Amino acid sequence: DSGVTQTPKHLITATGQRVTLRCSPRSGDLSVYWYQQSLDQGLQFLIQYYNGEERAKGNILERFSAQQFPDLHSELNLSSLELGDSALYFCASSVDGTGGWETQYFGPGTRLLVL
């Protein structure tokens, strides 16, 4: 158990809908990362937050947004969903996200299926 929790575990929804994925980092970690894992693209970095502020952006679509709250949990919002958004979404956390040497601890993921 990494200490990172993600809810829900599974999500089934329809095209055009909007969903929210939630992540709670390990106790004491200030930085949260979101990754998308799909069969064709593999594991791709989406976005990083540090202590409530956006720190870095990756291949995140404009239909997707995220935020980190004062209690340090994070939410990833996916809107106008398309079939191709079906994937496993991972959240990871690290102590402060100020160096590439840090270990990122991954949650169990949320499996999203868009029908």
Minimal distance, residue 105 CB to other proteins, in Å: 8
Minimal distance, residue 59 CB to other proteins, in Å: 10
Judged by CB under 8 A, does residue 102 bind other proteins? yes
**HSE, side-chain direction, 13 A CA sphere, residue 101:** 0
Minimal distance, residue 15 CB to other proteins, in Å: 26
- Using an 8 Å Cβ cutoff, are 75 and 23 in contact? yes
Furthest C-alpha separation in the chain: 39
Among 28, 98, 113, 115, binds other proteins (CB under 8 A): 98
Cα dist from 113 to 14, 85, 110, whole Å? 8, 8, 10
Q: Which residues contact 42 (CB under 8 A, 6 or more apart)?
A: none
Over the window 55 to 94, marking each residue x when it contacts other proteins by CB under 8 A and - when it does not, the resulting string is xx-x-------------------------------x-x--
Binding piece for other proteins, criterion CB under 8 A, among 15-23, 60-68, 74-82, 96-104: 96-104
- Nearest residue (CB) to other proteins, 14 versus 66: 66
As a whole number of angstroms, the distance between CA 42 and CA 83 comes to: 16
Size of the site for other proteins (CB under 8 A): 27
